[in-house]
């Protein structure tokens, strides 16, 4: 697995609540910071605009091996009660793409969290350049970190949605 291949990871969970009840929770950009370990804070650039196609938000992140850094993301996929996705950095050449998806599933909702590395440079590209022989291992480890945080996030959203059902 190489960075140039735009590796992805995803996780999903069944939520015993309808998509309309889950939607406001997935568009709340602070949700990942409540449940994961990397995103510390997210704020809308134009708070009055809120979640919509083209809206931007800033994220403050932390990783023990990298320290703290900030990103700017742009909402690039927005279909109410279906999909909420954003590009980190340049929307045309993002360092990562992230997407939360909702699908009706019986009386509830299938909540899917998907992410893709690249194609633009990110925090691990310099690490890969320093150790090209370890690229596959670096990517696999980073995808595992992402998946762990993604799984925690959708579990937290599930708990919130079902608690308000």
Question: 120-138, pLDDT tens digit by residue?
Answer: 999 899 889 999 999 999 9
pLDDT of residue 165: 45
| Tally of domains in the chain | 1
Q: Where are the alpha helices (DSSP H) in the chain?
A: 19-26, 31-35, 123-130, 135-163
The domain containing residue 17 runs over which residues?
Answer: 3-163
Residue 1 binned pLDDT confidence (cut-offs 50, 70, 90): confident
3-state secondary structure of 132: helix
- Helices (runs of H) and strands (runs of E) counted in the chain: 4, 7
Can you tell me which residue has the tokens 């650039």? Answer: 45
Mean pLDDT for 136-151 is 95
Condensed to tens digits (0 to 9), the pLDDT of residues 61-77 reads 999 988 899 999 999 99
Q: How far apart are CA 6 and CA 23, in angstroms?
A: 27
Say if residue 91's pLDDT is above 60. yes
Can you tell me which residue has the tokens 């015993």? Answer: 16
User: How crowded is the C-beta side of 64, counted as CA atoms within 13 Å?
Assistant: 2
For position 71, which CATH number holds? 3.30.530.20
């Amino acid at each position: 697995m190489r960075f140039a291949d735009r590796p992805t990871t995803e996780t999903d969970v069944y939520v015993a609540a309808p998509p309309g009840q889950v939607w406001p929770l997935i568009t709340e950009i602070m949700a990942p910071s409540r449940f994961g370990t990397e995103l510390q804070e997210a704020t809308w650039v134009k708070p009055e605009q809120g979640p919509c196609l083209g809206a931007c938000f800033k994220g403050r992140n932390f990783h023990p091996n990298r320290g703290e850094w900030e990103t700017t993301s742009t909402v690039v996929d927005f279909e109410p009660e279906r999909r909420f996705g954003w590009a980190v950095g340049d929307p045309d050449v993002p360092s990562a793409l992230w997407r939360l998806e909702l699908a009706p599933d019986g009386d509830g909702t299938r909540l899917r969290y998907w992410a893709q590395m690249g194609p633009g440079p990110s925090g691990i590209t310099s690490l890969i350049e320093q150790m090209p022989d370890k690229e596959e291992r670096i990517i696999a480890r980073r995808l595992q970190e992402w998946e762990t945080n993604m799984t925690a996030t959708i579990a937290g959203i599930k708990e919130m949605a079902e608690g308000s059902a």
